[in-house]
Structure 1
């Protein structure tokens, strides 16, 4: 079995439709939707996450009846579902809203992600931005590309390798519960404050040549 280019686009269409029907109508309406915490105040789930996951799961099973579908929210209730990833002929792993904290803070920095595995090997991935309505795809044997709402396609390529000292990296630790967040930040030495940081809702930020860390401490 092999996922085709048409299969990839079909998954992208599913994500786009669910973004329009379940996610965007609830964006910036946090006072009107249910929001619950999971492991910490920064690890939240909303009805948009759950309804989007249900809709994506149902649509994927209609399109791929023999597939196993594993959703983040369903797995948080039944972790044993993850055991199927290594053995399923085809499995889809769903994160209905990656960046739920941004979603509930009315920041347009979130996405829907789906990966496909075959007997434990990753063969496909898609990241859909419900705000801009474009989708990034990666398909084994066909490379990676960005599909725009008007049908335009831009090929995506890995940047050339550079020495570690020339790399920039961003590490978010706002999902870590206290006191772990403070411990992790404290263990990172040689950091200096970033002057004039304009990262939305960020109150702590440090930078050194190879790493940048942003820790949100606001809700």
Structure 2
């Protein structure tokens, strides 16, 4: 029996909307600097919205899918062993309750909530919710990628068309990469039309899957940042792999992931970005 169908996706969207309304948006409208705390670095923040939304969404998932293993960003920050559930569980949920926490904590409405369902180590469904606008981008394996508007209307997504390197725009968090990689990449960025960083994977994957942007090179590979987005990008027609060519899986947590509209574009981008690191 298929683990994921449209009825389940509709239920998960209902849960994510409810959590955003109750736990995220009231704190965004009333955000105060003392509600944000640093985690691994001064700009790696956690807020009450992250903690409460992860707890609430986890409870909703367990109620809807009894026995599901929960792997939340904030829970893993407290206990790294939770990551092993992705490899061991028949069904696990990856939760990024507020992706783009730095933006959220500073009153910038560029953040989202990301949820991926992972079966035996492979992503089978991904949903990204945008609490400010109330819409989603989502996908399940083999069924395409879709934008779901606040009124429920759906539009199928497609990545950008192939184009020359100098006409490509992409995302890269250069400041988060190792110094040697920064030095190698910096002079190469002028080859592209534009390279930017929105500090929010949820929105970056949206722009990739809708064809507004062409590529992304990741600095880190934490699964809650990428599992949902990579599936959505793939179902929209895109191609993603680590720089050494390894296919992406949510159980891979090191290396640099390159996303492109197609295989040929990926190969040209890899060459122009300097190959493996």
Question: Could you tell me the TM-score, scaled by structure 2's length?
Answer: 0.65
Could you tell me which runs of 5 or more consecutive residues in structure 1 were left unpaired when the two chains were aligned. Answer: 192-205
Which residue does 1:212 correspond to in 2? 195
Which residue does 2:81 correspond to in 1? 80
CA gap 1:33/1:105 in 2 versus in 1, 3 angstroms = same
CA gap 1:24/1:149 in 2 versus in 1, 3 angstroms = same
CA RMSD of aligned residues (A): 2.3
Judge conservation of contact 2:165–2:191 (CA < 8 Å) in 1.
Answer: no
The number of aligned residues is 198
Mapped to 1, the partners of 2:198 and 2:58 lie a distance apart of 33
Which residue does 1:190 correspond to in 2? 187
Which residue does 1:25 correspond to in 2? 26
Which residue does 1:137 correspond to in 2? 138
Cα displacement (A) at 1:86: 1.5
Mapped to 2, the partners of 1:42 and 1:184 lie a distance apart of 21
Which residue does 1:68 correspond to in 2? 69
Mapped to 1, the partners of 2:196 and 2:178 lie a distance apart of 12
SS state at 1:97 partner: strand
Mapped to 2, the partners of 1:91 and 1:35 lie a distance apart of 28
Query: Which is strand-richer, 1 or 2?
Result: 1
SS state at 1:86 partner: helix
Judge conservation of contact 2:166–2:191 (CA < 8 Å) in 1.
Answer: no
CA gap 1:187/1:102 in 2 versus in 1, 3 angstroms = same
Question: Could you tell me the TM-score, scaled by structure 1's length?
Answer: 0.81
Judge conservation of contact 2:45–2:101 (CA < 8 Å) in 1.
Answer: yes
Judge conservation of contact 1:95–1:114 (CA < 8 Å) in 2.
Answer: yes
Mapped to 2, the partners of 1:28 and 1:173 lie a distance apart of 30
